[in-house]
Every structure is written in structure tokens, then in C-alpha cells.
Amino acid sequence: METASTMKAKIAELRERKAKASLGGGQDKLDKQHKGGKLSARERIALFFDADSFQESGLFANQRCVDFGMAGKESPADGVITGIGTVDGRHVNVASQDFTVFGGSAGEVHCAKIMDSMRISLRTGKPFVFFNDSGGARIQEGVYSLAGYGKVFYTNTQLSGVVPQISLICGPCAGGAAYSPALTDFIIMTRQAQMFITGPQVIKQVTGEDITAEALGGAGSQIDRSGVAHFVAENDEHAIGICKRLLSFLPNNNTEDPPVLGGSYSLEADYALDEVIPEDSKKPYDIRDVITKILDFNDFLESQETFAPNIVVGFGRITGLTVGIIANQPKVYAGVLDIDASDKAAGFVRFCNAFNIPIITLVDTPGYLPGVDQEHRGIIRHGAKLLFAYSAATVPKITVILRKAYGGAYVAMCSKDLDADCVFAWPTAEIAVMGAEGAAEIVFRREIEAAEDKADARAKFAKAYRDKFSSPYVAAAARFVDDVIEPNQTRIHIAKTLERLTTKRTLRPAKKHGLIPL
């Protein structure tokens, strides 16, 4: 009897301790969090995971700093909730910073908890998701908090390419702390969040520039301008929805294939695709009209939508199989490849290759962007990233040339010579070193200068060049193109090719790692 009542008391104490610790920094701070339009760390977890699936680890963790008035202070869960739960039935490890506890700041114990969660991801081959909402390194803990972050960065790097890592930025993410998300694969940022290495005050002191925190590191800046973040969300709920959708396309780790969405899929001609390319070959169109028509249920999850919009990248499925799409966007700068587009596409190719996601490349580009600014900022180095990423990729690579494929950009957009498994071309494909007018101007300069009617001569030579190269048949004769297909058949051809490439095995020379131009 006595034992039972002792146990009852112990359980009551345990429940009380758990309830108290689960309140984090207390109701006042929770209210403040809600007033700022943000969910709490625990509410984010509850919304993210399947009901009752979350198993927490480290609720009773506490800080142990004795300096600057910290001695004996309680820091429930030390400001970060960690554990594992299921999302659509699949296990995911999580760390969720609790801003109500010392502003979610990261000390020694806090960082150790994050690392533990990451290590479990690594050992079990399950994705890692990190909700960031923090004032950064815990100031009172000095070098211990810096070392903690250093270890988080190191562990991020260990996980890189082994399990998918996704960061959600739901509040401040300041200072070196921003480098953990930067080392992960995707960053989803809410409109309530900011990321920067040095805040407005420091910038004002050092450079004299005046800028608000929002203009400096809000979602607008870090998505549209810098390309640091990949997705913008209106709020926490929206961010969590994006994260779940993104996870649905991804495998658990690099040794698995992405999940296959069961169901019956139509493989029929889509005659709307025959109408996409305008009569006037200089006219733009929206490449998304093509992308959505070749994907199951027209479902496309676009990444970095507003950064380097001259190239479009994202995930979709074809007959239930996840594919990564990389497509020039003729609607923006004619789909030219520039520094940012090369970085964006190369990064996406690397991710797909690391996680066994076949790559579909849609080509309509007039080439790499000419210009002093691009040359001086290193388009040679950045453009080379795309060549490297495609060449190094061993996943199935299927390329469709829709219209222009000029110059280096033809090669870079996963041509046969970069080891594409299959290259299709629409009858409208123009595969040449450059546009016919430009080519005529260089090759026949003397003849044009000598001609009485220069415009007529220019047009004549341009036509001769266009007649020779501005079709897919020269490339097809040389087997740089496997088949010229009717646009309406594109989805069918890609689906059949994907099916036969599922057993693809490719070896690359053994080495520690390649040296992608950085």
C-alpha cells in the first residue's frame, strides 16, 4: 500500500514537473509570442507531426552557466524542444527553438540537444528539420555557446548529402547562427522572420548605412535578392505546410529512393503543348505552362521562385516518381543563363543527385549572359558550377530542347556530352553556336561589308545559317539528340524513359571529392 502511494506521489511530481517545463518561459512570454503573430516552439511541433506521434527527448535539460546572474536559473528544455515524430507516417527528427526561454538563445546544453537530434538523424537515416527562432549564441555563456554552434555547423556538414536537412526560420536568426540554416538543404522563411550576420545597428556603426531589420534580412531580401532562402511563407502554419509538402518528395536518406505516390496515372497526348511555342521565335512564353503539363496532377513545388527567375527549379512527379525540374524561363531575360541562375540550378542539381532524384531539364536559352558586370563578377566560375554539377550527377538525366539551345548554354543545360541519358528535341529546337543574325555578322562580316545592300546580305547569310542549324535535325543526325518528338508526346516519352532508367548504375572515378568551382 505504502509503495503504491509513494509511486502515486512520484508520478504526480513527474507530471507537475513536465507540465511546468512544457510551459517554457511562462504564459506572459507565450502571449507575447502569439501577439507577434508567431506560434510557440511546441505549437509548431504539434502542427508539424502526425497526432500523438512526437516523442520528446531532453525536456528536463537545463543550463549550467554560473556567470552574469545565470547561476541556478531555470531554462526549461534549455530553450529548444528536440525529439522525433512522424510526418505522413514517416519519421523526422526535429529541433524547435523556444523564444520564450532566454530568447531561444543557444548555449552549451541547447546546442548539445540540437546535435543529439541531428546525430540520431544520421544514425537512423531520417530527415532533420530545424525550427529557428532565436537571439543567437547565448551571450552569458561566451565561448561555450560559440563552441556549441561550431559543433552544430560541423554536424550539419556530416549530415549533408546523407539525410535531407530543412530549416524553418520563424523568428530572428542573427549572427553566426544563420550559418546552420545556410548549411542545410532548404530554408523556409516566414514573413515574421529575419536573417542576417550583422544587424542594422552594427551596420550603421561600421559602414554608416541606415536600414531596417526587415529591409536588411526579411523574407523579401533573403529570398528575392540574396537567394539565401528557398521558400517564403506567410506565417508558421504556411511554413509547416510547405515543409511537409517538400518532405513528401524526398527520400529518408541517400541510400533510399524517394517515395512513390501510388495511384493510376494518365499517359495521354497533351495537345495544348503543341501551342506553347509562339509563331515568332523571339516571343516569350511561360515555361511553367510546359512544366505543369508534364507533371502528375499539374503539381509543381517551385524552389527559389523569385530569385534568378530566368531559371525555374522545383519538384514534381511523373507517374508517381519524384523528379527534379530545371528549366530556362523564356519569360525572364529570354531565359539567359547568368551568375545567379547558374548558382541556383547547380545547387538544385547537386541536391537531386545526392538524394537519387532523376533530373528533367527543359531547354530554351539564348546562352550565357554577355556583359562587363557578369564577367567581372565571375560568370566563368559560376557558370562552371552548372557544367560541374550536371557532369558529376549520376541520377537519370533526361533533357528536352524546346526552342533555343545556343552556345555554351546548350552544353551546360545537360547536353548529351555532359552525360545526359536521353535528349529529346521538339521540332522547334534551334541548336547552334549562337543566333543566326549574330553568326552571320561574324562569319560573313567581309561579305556583308562588301555587299551593296548590306541588310539584304545580312538577312541572306543569317537565313543560310538558320536553315543549317536552326532545327534539331543536324544534332539528331549526329546523335546529340536521341529523338525529335511532338510536344504533345513529351510526358509520355519522359515517363517511358524514367521507367527504363530506374536501374541506371554509373561509376565515377574514385576520389575524396571533386572540386566544384566555388
385 contacts ligand HXC (rule: CB under 6 A): no
The answer to whether the beta carbons of residues 346 and 388 sit under 8 Å apart is yes
Considering the complex, state which of residue 174 and residue 243 has its C-beta at the smaller distance from ligand HXC.
Answer: 174
Phi, psi for 134 (deg, rounded to 5): -155, 150
408 contacts ligand HXC (rule: CB under 6 A): no
The answer to whether the beta carbons of residues 292 and 327 sit under 8 Å apart is no
Is 175 one of the annotated active-site residues of the chain? yes
Is 37 one of the annotated active-site residues of the chain? no
At its nearest, how many Å lie between ligand HXC and the CB of residue 147? 9
106 to 72, 110, 170, 198, 393: CA distances (angstroms): 17, 5, 16, 17, 37
* CA–CA gap between residue 375 and residue 173 (Å, rounded): 33
Binding mask 122-151 for ligand HXC (x = CB under 6 A): -------------xxxxxx-----x--xx-
At its nearest, how many Å lie between ligand HXC and the CB of residue 306? 25
Considering the complex, state which of residue 149 and residue 315 has its C-beta at the smaller distance from ligand HXC.
Answer: 149
330 contacts ligand HXC (rule: CB under 6 A): no
Output DSSP code: residue 425. E
Grid cell listed for 471: 532545327
439 contacts ligand HXC (rule: CB under 6 A): no
Is 408 one of the annotated active-site residues of the chain? yes
At its nearest, how many Å lie between ligand HXC and the CB of residue 297? 41
Considering the complex, state which of residue 135 and residue 366 has its C-beta at the smaller distance from ligand HXC.
Answer: 135
Q: What is the sign of the dihedral through the CA atoms of 29, 31, 35 and 41?
A: positive
Is 142 one of the annotated active-site residues of the chain? no
Phi, psi for 95 (deg, rounded to 5): -130, 130
At its nearest, how many Å lie between ligand HXC and the CB of residue 169? 12
Choose the catalytic residue: 408, 451, 457, 464: 408
Of 1-9, 46-54, 102-110, 391-399, the window that binds ligand HXC (rule: CB under 6 A) is 102-110
Considering the complex, state which of residue 127 and residue 136 has its C-beta at the smaller distance from ligand HXC.
Answer: 136
Q: Is 439 left (phi over 0), alpha (psi -120 to 50) or beta?
A: alpha
Q: Tell me how many residues contact ligand HXC (CB under 6 A).
A: 17
Restricted to residues 166-205, the positions that interact with ligand HXC (CB under 6 A) are: 172, 174-177
Considering the complex, state which of residue 83 and residue 103 has its C-beta at the smaller distance from ligand HXC.
Answer: 103
Considering the complex, state which of residue 182 and residue 433 has its C-beta at the smaller distance from ligand HXC.
Answer: 182
Long-range contacts of 278-281 (CB under 8 A, 24+ apart): 281/403, 281/404, 281/428, 281/430
Q: Is 335 left (phi over 0), alpha (psi -120 to 50) or beta?
A: left
105 contacts ligand HXC (rule: CB under 6 A): yes
Q: Residue 292, class by beta-carbon neighbours within 10 Å (0-12 exposed, 13-18 middle, 19+ buried)? A: middle
First to last CA, the chain: 71
Residues with a catalytic annotation lie at: 175-176, 408-409
Footprint of ligand HXC (CB under 6 A): 102-103, 105, 135-140, 146, 149-150, 172, 174-177
